[in-house]
Amino acid sequence: MLPVRRFDALVVGAGGSGMRASLELARANLKVAVLTKVFPTRSHTVAAQGGVAAPLANSAEDNWHWHMYDTVKGSDYLGDQDAIEYMCRRANEVVVELEHMGMPFDRLENGKIYQRPFGGHTQDYGSAKMAMRACAAADRTGHAMLHTLYQQNVRANTQFFVEWMALDVIRDPQDGAVIGVTALEMETGEVSIFQGKATLFATGGSGRMFQSSTNAFINTGDGLGIAARAQRTFIGDKSKVFNTARIEALELDNLVESALATVVSAEARKESRGAQARADFPERDDRNWLKHSLWSKEGNRLAYKPVHLKPLTVESFEPKLRTY
């Protein structure tokens, strides 16, 4: 029998998203556990440089409608517009809140948060005039943000399980609902069950699937891989204590799942859109491909779901040619 630990909520991953979520949960007096395979301030958020977008209009006219337009366009119209509207409407509040938490943003002469122009940030729905929307702390905005969020979690007494690697989700045998995860304590090699009324995955990307990448070594798509786990890879190292070869094998499993999902989905998508650039299908094809790809490991199958083109309160941004 594996040891069981019970919480109100589990957060897997201690980057910017995971720690903002855990902070909210801890402040609501819920018993929250954050599982993270590296010490929280080592998460890849730390490497973000340029800035965080919010239309504070501290240096030039700006508003959330323009921010929303740029975000929809930046997704090459594949982004869900309801989610994008929500993000852009809340961006100012969220950045101001980070400032109140102590994030050391650079400042303007008038004492407000410094904002700079950034690729794709425009005024007036894609006009040639650049917006000043990126709120920055020198060239280490992500570092400043991640440390601030960790600090606030320390203050809120969030319970961190540092160097614990989540392995698999556990589902209710009756209704299939996720009721927790199994996780490996790296220092001892022991596996425990973590139960939570809610489980949130904030495990970041899988950039390490590419041979060339500026991503951290840890960006192995663990949350993506957990959804579809393969057989364990054989490894030579049998040690229990901090067996990094075992961790790397687990990461490789996750990375392979992520890579397979990416390759299969990309091959099937007969168009070029956003970062997907195909020599054989150089044009974007909205008639056939304005939809999300959903890959499942079982049978290596693809399914699709429509893009939410309808925002929450405003008119849709209809797809048009994406030029800068």
Site size toward other proteins (CB under 8 A) is 50
- Please report whether residue 8 would count as binding other proteins according to CB under 8 A: no
Q: Give the total residue count for the chain.
A: 324
Q: Establish if 175 lies at the interface with other proteins (CB under 8 A).
A: no
Check: CB of residue 2 under 8 Å from CB of residue 182: yes
Contact 284, 55 (CB under 8 A): no
Q: Which of 36, 115, 141, 152 binds other proteins (CB under 8 A)?
A: 152
- Can residue 234 be called a binding residue for other proteins (CB under 8 A)? no
Rule CB under 8 A: say whether 217 interacts with other proteins. Answer: yes
| Cα dihedral value 162, 164, 18, 174, nearest 10 | -140
What are the residues facing 305 on neighbouring strands? 292
> Which of the ranges 136-144, 177-185, 266-274, 309-317 carries the binding residues for other proteins, by CB under 8 A?
136-144
Please provide residue 302's backbone torsions phi and psi, each rounded to the nearest 5 degrees.
-115, 140
Residues 89, 151, 104, CA angle at the centre, nearest 5°? Answer: 60
- CA gap 67, 51 in Å, rounded: 14
Under the criterion CB under 8 A, does residue 312 sit at the interface with other proteins?
no
31 near other proteins, judged by CB under 8 A: no
Instruction: Convert 188-206 into a string of H (helix), E (strand) and C (coil).
Output: CCEEEEEEEEEEEECCCCC
> Cβ of residue 169: shortest distance to other proteins, in angstroms?
24
125 counts as binding other proteins under rule CB under 8 A: no
Q: If binding is defined by CB under 8 A, does position 243 make contact with other proteins?
A: yes
- Taking the complex as a whole, the smallest distance from the CB of residue 141 to other proteins amounts, in Å, to 12
Burial class (CB in 10 A: 0-12, 13-18, 19+), 172: exposed
Q: Say whether residue 239 binds other proteins (CB under 8 A).
A: yes
- Report how far residue 227's alpha carbon sits from residue 297's, in angstroms, rounded to the nearest whole number: 9
If binding is defined by CB under 8 A, does position 107 make contact with other proteins? yes
41 binds other proteins (CB under 8 A): yes
Stretch that binds other proteins, among 123-131, 212-220, 224-232, 270-278 (CB under 8 A): 212-220
**Interface ranges with other proteins (CB under 8 A):** 38-39, 41-44, 46-47, 56, 96-97, 99-102, 104-113, 137, 140, 143-144, 147, 151-152, 154-155, 187, 214, 216-218, 235-237, 239-245, 248
